[in-house]
């Protein structure tokens, strides 16, 4: 899979999570860090877009590498990362590592010859050790200036989009069970209507970016109604929007979004309801809806912010596949891609650090980070909800961005 189109970024997931307060030393992880070599006095420069709590967690996690090797990591974060890193790369002022939130920009920089290949061994490692590993390898593989494809992008810190949020209390009071298949999800929606409840809150308004939530719905449904190959063709614009596969996914989405009985406020409200306001219907009394499909970040928009909301008043389950389609358990999500833009032995050691389970567990313990690393201990997740999301990544058949 090669992803070249621009993806709309989402707000950083979960200021509601506690940032490492339960761990005096994030480097004290279930897994032990392997030998990474010794690089006292060497400096690794790194650029990315993470700021605030995310930057604090990044720096705390990477301090484990510094303690183990003697090297120093100098991270520079900016909301203008995309423009800054392109300018630095094109002016031969590259950092050692650039952290891309979108594969499209990374692919552009590889095509211009600004990225250093991580090598086949690293790609093979990811294919074997990440859930849906070959999908993650494809996400970080691009053509260079000569058209040769290489593995450049190491995915670390993921977000999960294939989630349905709900109120455990409302499900229990109404006798509803978590659906395991799309057929069961549709049956559950119909049962909710029969019970006098409204199944879904859906809102796609987002200012100049209105519609991106509908795109996410479409992408999730394409993964559940068409083959991964067809999905890739659609993403790369090889499969037109009037193809049978895309029209079918649109019709399925319409069964949810254009059904007055299914949507809080009726189908006409979908286009005018803000994506951030949409999930609030889960928490009204009585609730105006029972379910809301949205990525992991949406919990930051819940009307009450705090860890008790995520662990008690709201929960999420995997947006299920069709049992009849036999397409496995596809997952839609996002992930930051670590690329080497200036080579050095210490920088190579840092990428080896990213393969260590301990490097993932150190961030998992602080909250927010999800990982597809199959060797990372699920016990390291900061909350039960994060653990559940991590299990989805580990068990997925195919990951798509």
In the chain, the percentage of residues whose pLDDT exceeds 90 is 73
Average pLDDT over residues 385-390: 88
Residues 396 and 275 in one domain: no
Q: Categorize the per-residue pLDDT at 5 as very low, low, confident or very high, splitting at 50, 70 and 90.
A: very low
Domain assignment of residue 189, yes or no: yes
Q: Categorize the per-residue pLDDT at 397 as very low, low, confident or very high, splitting at 50, 70 and 90.
A: low
Residue with tokens 């031969």: 92
Q: Helices 345-355 and 357-364 sit at what angle, rounded to 10 degrees?
A: 70
Residues 176 and 153 in one domain: no
Find out whether 198 and 263 touch, Cβ atoms under 8 Å. yes
| CATH classification of the domain holding 369 | 3.40.190.10
For residue 207, count CB atoms less than 10 angstroms from its CB and return exposed for 0-12, middle for 13-18, buried for 19 or more: exposed
What is the SS3 assignment for 32? coil
Residues 306 and 181 in one domain: yes
Residues 141 and 93 in one domain: yes
Residues 49 and 155 in one domain: yes
Residues 48 and 134 in one domain: yes
Average pLDDT over residues 115-136: 95
DSSP for 258-309, written as a single string = T-TTTBTT-GGGTTTSBTTTGGGGGSSSS-S-SEEE--GGGGGGSSS-SHHI
Residues 278 and 167 in one domain: yes
Domain assignment of residue 277, yes or no: yes
Domain assignment of residue 3, yes or no: no
> Comparing C-alpha atoms, which of 240, 266, 297 is closest to residue 101?
297
What is the model's pTM?
0.78
Using alpha carbons, list the distances in angstroms from residue 6 to 126, 171, 212, 237, 318.
24, 37, 11, 13, 25
Q: Categorize the per-residue pLDDT at 19 as very low, low, confident or very high, splitting at 50, 70 and 90.
A: very low
Q: What is d(CA 401, CA 399) in angstroms, rounded to the nearest whole number?
A: 7
Q: Categorize the per-residue pLDDT at 150 as very low, low, confident or very high, splitting at 50, 70 and 90.
A: very high
pLDDT at 210: 92
Lowest-pLDDT range, 74-78, 95-99, 252-256, 367-371? Answer: 367-371
Average pLDDT over residues 341-358: 98
Residue 1 has pLDDT above 90, yes or no: no
pLDDT at 311: 54
Average pLDDT over residues 352-381: 94
DSSP for 220-249, written as a single string = HHHHHHS-HHHHHHHHTT-S-TTSHHHHHH
Domain assignment of residue 21, yes or no: no
Residue 304 has pLDDT above 70, yes or no: no
Quick one: which H or E segment has residue 391?
Answer: helix 384-395
Residues 239 and 264 in one domain: yes
Domain assignment of residue 337, yes or no: yes
Residues 179 and 280 in one domain: yes
The last residue of a domain, from among 268, 286, 318: 318
The answer to whether the bond into 156 is cis (omega within 30° of 0) is no
Question: 382 in the Ramachandran plot: left (φ > 0), alpha (ψ -120 to 50) or beta?
Answer: alpha
Residue 349 has pLDDT above 80, yes or no: yes
Domain assignment of residue 325, yes or no: no
Domain assignment of residue 124, yes or no: yes
Average pLDDT over residues 333-358: 96
Average pLDDT over residues 193-202: 98
Domain assignment of residue 71, yes or no: yes
Residues 78 and 211 in one domain: no
The last residue of a domain, from among 262, 294, 318: 318
Q: Categorize the per-residue pLDDT at 228 as very low, low, confident or very high, splitting at 50, 70 and 90.
A: confident
Q: Which residue has the higher pLDDT, 18 or 344?
A: 344
Find out whether 174 and 198 touch, Cβ atoms under 8 Å. no
Residue range of the domain that includes 168: 163-318
Residues 387 and 360 in one domain: yes
- Residue 290 token pair: 């029972």
Residue 11 has pLDDT above 60, yes or no: no
Residues 304 and 195 in one domain: yes
For residue 80, count CB atoms less than 10 angstroms from its CB and return exposed for 0-12, middle for 13-18, buried for 19 or more: exposed
Domain count, the chain: 2
């Amino acid at each position: 899979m090669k992803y070249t189109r621009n993806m709309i970024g989402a707000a950083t997931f979960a200021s509601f999570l506690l940032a490492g307060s339960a761990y005096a030393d994030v480097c004290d992880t279930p897994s032990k860090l392997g030998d990474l070599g010794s690089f006292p006095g060497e400096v690794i420069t790194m650029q990315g877009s993470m700021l605030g709590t995310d930057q604090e967690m990044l720096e705390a996690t990477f301090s484990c590498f510094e303690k183990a090797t003697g090297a120093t990591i100098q991270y520079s974060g900016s909301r203008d990362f995309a423009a800054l890193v392109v300018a630095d790369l094109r002016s031969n002022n590259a950092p050692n590592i650039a952290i891309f939130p979108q594969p499209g920009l990374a692919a552009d920089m590889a095509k211009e010859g600004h990225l250093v290949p991580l090598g086949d061994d690293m790609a093979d490692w990811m294919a074997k050790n990440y859930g849906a590993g070959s999908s993650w390898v494809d996400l970080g593989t691009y053509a260079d200036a000569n058209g040769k494809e290489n593995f450049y992008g190491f995915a670390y810190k993921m977000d999960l989009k294939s989630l349905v949020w709900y109120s455990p209390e409302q499900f229990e009071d109404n006798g509803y069970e978590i659906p395991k298949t799309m057929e069961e999800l549709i049956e559950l929606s119909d049962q909710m209507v029969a019970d006098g409840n409204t199944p879904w809150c859906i809102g796609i308004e987002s200012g100049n970016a209105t519609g991106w939530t509908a795109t996410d719905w479409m992408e999730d449904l394409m993964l559940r109604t068409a083959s991964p190959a067809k999905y890739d063709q659609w993403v790369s614009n090889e499969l037109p929007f009037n193809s049978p596969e895309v029209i079918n996914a649109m019709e399925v989405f319409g069964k949810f979004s254009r059904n007055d009985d299914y949507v809080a406020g009726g189908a006409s409200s979908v286009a005018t309801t803000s994506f951030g306001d949409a999930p609030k219907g889960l928490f009204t009394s009585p609730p105006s809806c029972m379910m809301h499909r949205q990525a992991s970040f949406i919990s930051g928009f819940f009307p009450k912010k705090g860890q008790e909301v995520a662990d008690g008043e709201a929960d999420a389950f995997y947006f299920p596949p069709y049992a009849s389609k036999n397409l496995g358990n596809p997952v839609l999500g996002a992930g930051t891609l670590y690329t080497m833009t200036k080579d050095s032995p210490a920088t190579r050691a840092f990428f080896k650090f990213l393969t260590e389970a301990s490097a993932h567990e150190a961030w998992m313990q602080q909250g927010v980070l999800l990982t597809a690393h199959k060797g990372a201990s699920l016990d390291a997740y900061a909350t039960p909800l994060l653990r559940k999301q991590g299990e989805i990544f580990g068990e997925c058949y195919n990951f798509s961005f």
